[in-house]
Amino acid sequence: MTGRYAERTDVSSDRSRAEIERVLKRYGATAFQYGWTTGIAVIMFEIAGRRILFRLPLPDPGERRFTHTPGKGLLRDQASREREYEQAVRQRWRALALVIKAKLEAVAADITTVEQEFGMFVIMPDGRTVGEHVTPAIAAAYESGQMPALLPGGAP
């Protein structure tokens, strides 16, 4: 891979988040929410009667790629650290905006459905996403080579 999408973007995280919100409205979302905590930002929205949750992992500002130069490994000054960190955060927000726009356009073009595009990010009644429910079962099936029963109590 030659480089990351938008790795040198000038678009701020705020502008990317606002763009996501505008795009969601344009494609029929009926609700939107945003929040953050240390190390993660969250986008939640409702579309086609489904609540969707994207967790955007944010890099650790203490990572060596932010604290040291890439070539000689020299310690960066505080302003350089912050600049490099903010660039990485902007890149992730641009990537998330791209993913959401592409999924919504695929649905609008009748290539796929909301459930197919956003299925793993649908929030279930217990507050976890579909992906959080099924990913461990998928991993276990591949590790064991055994498929779970199609019907409860049935043969695999």
For residue range 27-74, list pLDDT tens digits in order. 999 999 999 999 999 999 999 999 999 999 999 999 999 999 999 999
Q: Is the pLDDT of residue 1 over 80?
A: no
Q: Is residue 8 part of a domain?
A: no
- Residues comprising the chain, all counted: 156
How do beta strands 50-57 and 40-47 pair? Answer: antiparallel
- Name the pLDDT band for 76 (thresholds 50, 70, 90): very high
C-alpha atoms less than 13 angstroms from C-alpha of 24 in its C-beta half-sphere: 26
Q: Is residue 114 part of a domain?
A: yes
- Name the pLDDT band for 141 (thresholds 50, 70, 90): confident
Q: Is residue 4 part of a domain?
A: no
Total of domains in the chain? 1
Transcribe 82-118 into DSSP letters.
HHHHHHHHHHHHHHHHHHHHHHHHHHHTTSS-HHHHH
Q: Is the pLDDT of residue 12 over 90?
A: yes
Q: Is residue 5 part of a domain?
A: no
- Name the pLDDT band for 138 (thresholds 50, 70, 90): confident
Q: Is residue 97 part of a domain?
A: yes
Tell me the residue range of the domain where 101 lies.
13-144
Q: Is residue 37 part of a domain?
A: yes
Q: Is residue 29 part of a domain?
A: yes
Calculate the average pLDDT of the chain.
93
